């Protein structure tokens, strides 16, 4: 199931590349390996997500400004 989830996130067969034979449930530095992987992905994505959120907020403001 974990393999399906990770491959689904990327819409590609990345599971074996990411985990290189390690179990995503193994403990590394006191955390599950998959947690570290997901945190790393989120850190990479944060700037793009924040930029999208700001741009989306501006677009929504156009339509919502007259509702108050």
Q: What is the 3-state secondary structure (H, E, C) of 3-21?
A: HHHHHHHHCCCCHHHHHCC
Q: So where are the chain's domains? A: 2-64
Q: Which pLDDT tens digit goes with each residue over 2-61?
A: 899 999 988 999 999 999 999 999 999 999 999 999 999 999 999 999 999 999 999 898
- Looking at residue 64, its pLDDT comes to 84
Give this prediction's pTM.
Answer: 0.67
**51: Cα separation from own chain's centroid:** 15
Query: Helix 33-64 vs helix 2-10: angle between axes, to the nearest 10 degrees?
Result: 40
């Amino acid at each position: 199931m974990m393999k399906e989830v990770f491959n689904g996130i990327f819409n590609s067969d990345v599971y074996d590349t990411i985990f290189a034979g390690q179990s995503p449930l193994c403990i590394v530095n006191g955390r599950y390996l998959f947690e570290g992987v997901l945190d790393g992905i989120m850190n990479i994505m944060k700037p793009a997500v924040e930029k999208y959120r700001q741009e989306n907020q501006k677009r929504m403001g156009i339509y919502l400004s007259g509702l108050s």
